[in-house]
Amino acid sequence: MKRYMTGVMVLLLAGMLHSCGGGGDGDSRSGGSADPGGAGGSGGSGGSGGSAPSVPSAGVHVEEADAAVTLTGTWTDSNPEFGWSGGSAKQSTVAGSRASMTFKGTSVTWFGSRGRGMGIALLSVDGGPGVEVDLFAYPYDEIHSPAFTVNGLSDGVHTLTIEVTGRANPSAWSNVVVIDAFDVQGQIVSHLQQTNPEVTFTGGWTEANNGFTWSAGGISNAPETPQGAQVAESAGAKATLAFRGTSVSWIGYRGPDAGIARVQLDGGAPVDVDTFSPTRKVQEIVFTATGLADTNHTLTIEATGRRNAQSTRAQIFVDAFDVRTPGRRYQEWERSIAYSGTWTSRNDARVWSEGASATSKGNRDELGHVLSGPPPRAVFSFTGTGVSWISSAKSSLGRARVYLDDVFQREVMLWRPFPTEAYQWEAFRVDGLANGPHTLTIEVIDDGGSYVVVDAFDVRP
C-alpha cells in the first residue's frame, strides 16, 4: 500500500515555523511559470521610502507599494499587461532579494503569481527558520493569486519575510518570484473559473481565442479545449454566477477594444462598468462587491452592446471570479489531514488552492493495476461549526463517500460533462455543528481509474 507523503522536510519545516510563531502551516514547495515580467521595469534596489510605515492589522489588504512593505535587493516591475492587485507588482530573480512586511494579526496571506516560469521563495516569520514555497504550476501565469498563507500566529506584531532563492522547480523555465499584495488576517479566497458549474451563460458568448494569458489557460486533456475566457459583444448576453460569500470579484479584461457591461448583484440596481482602457489589462479585477452577508448571492454581467467613444469594439470578457468567505482554509498537505491508501501528492497541473492538490484513483497503481486493501481515505480533523470539502468537477473525475464523525452523509459525484471544469470548488458543505472537535472523511470509490481530488478544507468557527 502506497501512503500519501508530502515529504519529511515539509513536516519538519512546518513544525519549525510553528515553533517560531509562524503557525504550523509551513510547506516545502518549489516552482516556475511563464514570465509575467516580460516587459521589464525599474531595476536596482526597491523599497518603500518616506515616513515610518504603520502596522497593518486584521482585515487590511496591503499592496506591494505600501509603506508597510520593504523591498531590498533587486526588484523590477512586473508585466504591466497583467491586472495586478492595485495595478502593479514587483518581481525578482536575484537570490537574496527580500520583501518584508510587519503586521499585527494571527495570519497573513501573500499574493503573488504561479505558472511555468515561477521560482522558489523562502518564507519566514519573525526571523525564524524558512519554509520553501514552490510557485511552479503548469497552467499559464496565474496572477494576484494566494501564494501562501501563514496561520496560527499569536495575536501580536509579526514580520513576514519572503526571500528569492534564485532556484526553481526542474520543470520551470525561469525562477521569478512576484510580490503583488498581502491580506492580514483575511478571509478565504476561492478562485472560480468561468467553466464552474455555478456559472451560466445566455446569449451570444463564445470562447475568446485571442492568445491572451487567461486564468487557468494553456492546459487541457483531450477532448477538452484549453481553458480561456468567454467573450460577448451583442446586447443582452448574460453571465451569472451563483455563490455564497461576503465578497465577489469579476476577473476579466480592460483594453482599447472593450465595451460597457451592466452588472447586478442579487437582482438589485444595475451598475454600468466601462471596461475600456487605452492599454491592455488581462486577468483584470473589473468589478468587486464587498460587505455582503455570508449567504447565497447572484452576480450577473450583461453585455450592453455599447462602448466608450474611444473604444474600437464593445467586447465584454468573463475569465474568472474571486469569492471571499469567512473561516480558515486548510491546504491538502497540512498535518490535520490523515491519508491512507494510494494518493498522489503535489498535483500542480491545474489552478488548485495555493498551487497543489492530492489525488487518488482508488486502490490502483500508476499502471492501473488494482491493489488490495480498504479504499483510500482522507480524514480531516477540525474544530468548528461548519466545514467544506474543496475539490474539483470535470469529466475525468469520479465519486467519493463522505462521512462526518464516522457517520455516512452522502455520495458525492465529481464527474461533470465537458465543458464544465471547476477548481477550488465546494463539493460538500455542512453547517450548524456543535463547536467542538469533528472529523470529515473522504472515501474514494473506485470507478475504474477516475480521480478524486482533495484540494483543501474550509472550517467555519
Give the least confident one: 36-50, 71-85, 172-186, 429-443: 36-50
Give the least confident one: 282-286, 304-308, 353-357, 368-372: 368-372
Residue 10 has pLDDT above 70, yes or no: no
329-460, which class in CATH? mainly beta
pLDDT of residue 218: 87
Per-chain mean pLDDT for the chain: 88
Residue 2 has pLDDT above 90, yes or no: no
Q: Are 248 and 241 in contact (CB under 8 A)?
A: yes
Before 223, cis peptide (omega within 30)? yes
Give the least confident one: 27-41, 180-194, 214-228, 287-301: 27-41
Residue with grid cell 499584495, as numbered in its chain? 181
Residue 378 has pLDDT above 60, yes or no: yes
Q: How confident is residue 368, by pLDDT bands cut at 50, 70 and 90?
A: low
Residue 11 has pLDDT above 50, yes or no: no
pLDDT of residue 362: 85
CA–CA separation, 98 vs 199, rounded Å?
39
* pLDDT tens sequence across 58-68: 999 999 999 99
Residue 391 has pLDDT above 60, yes or no: yes
* Angle ∠(346,135,416) on CA atoms, nearest 5: 50
CA–CA separation, 151 vs 158, rounded Å?
12
Q: How confident is residue 47, by pLDDT bands cut at 50, 70 and 90?
A: very low
Q: How confident is residue 373, by pLDDT bands cut at 50, 70 and 90?
A: confident
Output Rg (C-alpha) for the chain, integer angstroms: 22
State which of 16-30, 154-168, 446-460 shows the largest mean pLDDT: 154-168
CA–CA separation, 344 vs 3, rounded Å?
9
pLDDT of residue 63: 98
pLDDT of residue 365: 66
pLDDT of residue 34: 31
The stretch 370-390 carries a mean pLDDT of 92
The stretch 241-252 carries a mean pLDDT of 98
Q: Which residue has the higher pLDDT, 43 or 399?
A: 399
Residue with grid cell 503573488, as numbered in its chain? 112
Sheet containing 181-184: order of strands: 61-63, 181-184, 108-114, 142-150
* CATH code that applies to domain 8-187: 2.60.120.260
Sheet containing 156-164: order of strands: 69-72, 98-105, 156-164, 120-125, 131-134
The rounded percent of the chain whose pLDDT value lies above 70 is 87
| pTM confidence score | 0.88
Give the least confident one: 44-48, 171-175, 277-281, 331-335: 44-48
Give, for 63, the enclosing helix (H) or strand (E).
strand 61-63
Residue 26 has pLDDT above 80, yes or no: no
* pLDDT tens sequence across 260-297: 999 999 999 999 999 999 999 999 999 999 999 999 99
Q: Are 138 and 33 in contact (CB under 8 A)?
A: no
Residue 21's CB is within 10 A of a number of other CB atoms, namely 16
Residue 456 has pLDDT above 80, yes or no: yes
Q: How confident is residue 402, by pLDDT bands cut at 50, 70 and 90?
A: very high
pLDDT of residue 372: 67
CA–CA separation, 354 vs 190, rounded Å?
10
- DSSP 8-class letter at 349: S
Residue 16 has pLDDT above 50, yes or no: no
Q: Give the C-alpha distances (Å, rounded to integers) separating 339 from 1, 139, 334, 379.
A: 12, 27, 11, 6
Q: Are 74 and 43 in contact (CB under 8 A)?
A: yes
Q: Which residue has the higher pLDDT, 448 or 241?
A: 241
The stretch 9-31 carries a mean pLDDT of 35
pLDDT of residue 370: 67
CA–CA separation, 192 vs 241, rounded Å?
10
* CATH code that applies to domain 192-325: 2.60.120.260
Task: For CATH 2.60.120.260, list the domain ranges present in the chain.
Answer: 8-187, 192-325, 329-460
Query: What string of DSSP letters covers 327-352?
Result: SEEEETTSTTEEEESS-EEEE-SS--
pLDDT of residue 367: 64
Q: How confident is residue 209, by pLDDT bands cut at 50, 70 and 90?
A: confident
Task: Find, among 284, 315, 283, 295, the residue nearest to 246 by Cα.
Answer: 295
Q: Largest Cα–Cα distance of the chain, in whole Å?
A: 68
Q: How confident is residue 39, by pLDDT bands cut at 50, 70 and 90?
A: very low
